[in-house]
Each structure stands twice: as structure tokens, then as C-alpha cells.
Amino acid sequence: MINQISFQYEAWPDDSTLSVADRALLQEARQVTALAYAPYSNFWVGAAARLVSGNIVLGTNQENASYPVGSCAERVLLGHAAVRFPEDPIETLAISYHPKDKSSAVPLYPCGMCRQVLLEHEMRFQRPIRLILSGMSGPVHVVDSAESLLPFAFTGKGLRN
């Protein structure tokens, strides 16, 4: 038996087709890349989330000379949101990046660890997180739920069996 997993996403040539609110959120993610701490990779990542209440939370990657100790922008943002607004779920999360001396005109998706943490956040609040993914310019991808990015996810259900 052959099974197939697929998901749908929106792909736009640039941010001009986004709603005013989504374009503003993506712009926040692009701007906050300047605050990232990435002296080793020179790959600055910024994330901006709009919570259900309308509050905006920001995050950037934070590197460390001992690479496993660093944190991705998405996880920094999720931790900040959990402490600052513990009962306010994320509605939409925009992620952008800026590598030193290179183009950032291709949407990049969260790493596997961040996908797992995003999925856990969705399960915690029982609601999807829309993802807007883009570089500093160029194409924009919109995914309706982080769950789409992690098929066969490891969840708490496996821990309770």
C-alpha cells in the first residue's frame, strides 16, 4: 500500500498581495533581523507574531560559540510570548532572514526543532498558527498551520500510552 502526504500553501511573487496586517507583520520580521545575534553564521533571522489580542511579539536567533546552545528566532519568540502573554495564542507568525553578503529572496522554512515547538504551541492552544515565510524581498509563502510542516509528529499522545 502506498500512502501520500501533502499540504497546500500560498505562493506569492512578493508581499504586495498580502493584507495590510500581514504585510506589516512581515515587515516587522524583516526589520527585527537587525537585532539578531549571529556572529558565527552571519545569518540573521527575525520573527514577528500577531497574537489573537492583536499584541505583537518579536524574536531573533541568538547564537553561541557552542552551536547547540543557540536558539532560533521562532523559539525565542515562542518563549517570550509564553511568558508575556500566557493565555493569548498566536494567530500569525512571520519569519524572515538576512544572510551577510548574500541574497535573501527565497522563503525559508523553520528547522525541524522549531517545527516541533510550533506544533506543541498549536496543540497547547488548540488552534493553528498561520506562517508567513519570506526573505528580505521576493516570494512569500503562507502556510495555514505549522502542523502541515511536520507530518507524523511526535506528540504527547505517545508519552501517555
3-state secondary structure at position 27 = helix
**Torsion (CA) 72, 77, 80, 84 in degrees, nearest 10:** -170
Bridge partners of 51? 90
The catalytic residue among 74, 91, 120, 147 is 74
* End-to-end Cα, the chain, rounded Å: 27
Catalytic residue at 74? Answer: yes
Best CA proximity match to 91, nearest among 41, 137, 144, 38: 144
* Residues known to be catalytic: 74
